[in-house]
């Protein structure tokens, strides 16, 4: 439930037209402006003004109340939409783990925390900032995950690190990067034995720094989840 709440709030906050995104979520849950307004104790015209982007962008307090109201209404109805969304979240968790940082961290500091070495594009490390990471098994992502799940690898922000596990040469992870619509800020190869020249070429083409580490996965999550 919390992941769905954060996804909704994050999408509204980051949207270039937050009112339109609020409308999208209201319509997904099949809630009328009147129903939402009654629970929020505001007028339907206020909801309309927000959704029509006629009011200034809503602050975090407004977004929190908006998301909370939608979830409350759906829960009272028996959670028909929340149940479907939760199934999608659980399906995603079969293939990857997401974590959003409470604050940004530089790629260089990130590298140090993982005791990693730079494999490609070291000159780009200084300019990269990270706001989260996605942990995944490279071959499982390629062979098993439906293509519709790929956008979800980025969580609320694309400025994140992709951590690929069970890596031998780095080719498979970089193929994943090549075919995804968006690109991460940094790629981490865990367990790398040797570097495939094609992996380096893709990294250079996509202008993404790549680092490698053999730190224990449990330790990686312990360290990074404190950020």
Q: Is this structure's pTM higher than 0.75?
A: no
In this structure, the chain runs to a length of 227
**Which whole number is the average pLDDT over 11-23?**
88
pLDDT in tens, 203-221: 999 999 999 999 999 999 9
- What is the C-alpha separation between 212 and 176, in angstroms, rounded? 17
Q: Which residues, in sequence order, are CB contacts of 127 under 8 Å at separation 6+?
A: none
DSSP per residue over 91-146, as a string? Answer: HHHTTEEEEEEEEEEEHHHHHHHTT-EEEE-GGGGGG-EEEEEEEEEHHHHHHTS-
| Residue 205 pLDDT | 94
Could you tell me where in the chain the CATH 1.10.260 domains are found?
A: 2-89
Could you tell me where in the chain the CATH 3.40.1390.20 domains are found?
A: 94-224
Place domain 94-224 in its CATH homologous superfamily. HprK N-terminal domain-like (3.40.1390.20)
Class for the domain spanning 2-89: mainly alpha
- What is the C-alpha separation between 212 and 199, in angstroms, rounded? 12
């Amino acid at each position: 439930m919390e992941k769905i709440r954060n996804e909704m709030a994050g999408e509204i906050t980051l949207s270039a037209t937050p009112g339109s995104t609020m409308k999208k979520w209201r319509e997904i849950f099949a809630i009328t402006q009147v129903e939402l307004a009654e629970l929020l104790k505001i007028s339907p015209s206020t909801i309309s003004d927000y959704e029509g982007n006629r009011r200034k962008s809503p602050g975090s307090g407004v977004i929190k109340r908006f998301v909370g109201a939608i979830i409350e209404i759906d829960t009272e109805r028996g959670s028909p939409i929340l149940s479907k969304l939760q199934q999608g979240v659980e399906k995603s968790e079969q293939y990857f783990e997401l974590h959003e940082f409470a604050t940004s961290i530089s790629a260089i500091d990130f590298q140090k925390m993982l005791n990693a070495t730079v494999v490609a594009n070291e000159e780009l490390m200084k300019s990269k900032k990270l706001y989260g990471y996605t942990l995944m098994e490279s071959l499982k992502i390629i062979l098993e995950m439906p293509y519709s799940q790929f956008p979800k690898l980025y969580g609320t922000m694309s400025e994140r690190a992709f951590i690929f596990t069970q890596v031998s040469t780095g080719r498979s992870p970089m193929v994943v990067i090549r075919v995804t619509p968006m690109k991460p800020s940094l790629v981490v190869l865990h367990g790398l034995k040797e570097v495939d020249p094609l992996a380096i070429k893709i990294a250079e083409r996509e202008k993404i720094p790549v680092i490698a580490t053999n730190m224990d996965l449990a330790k990686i999550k312990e360290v990074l989840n404190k950020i």
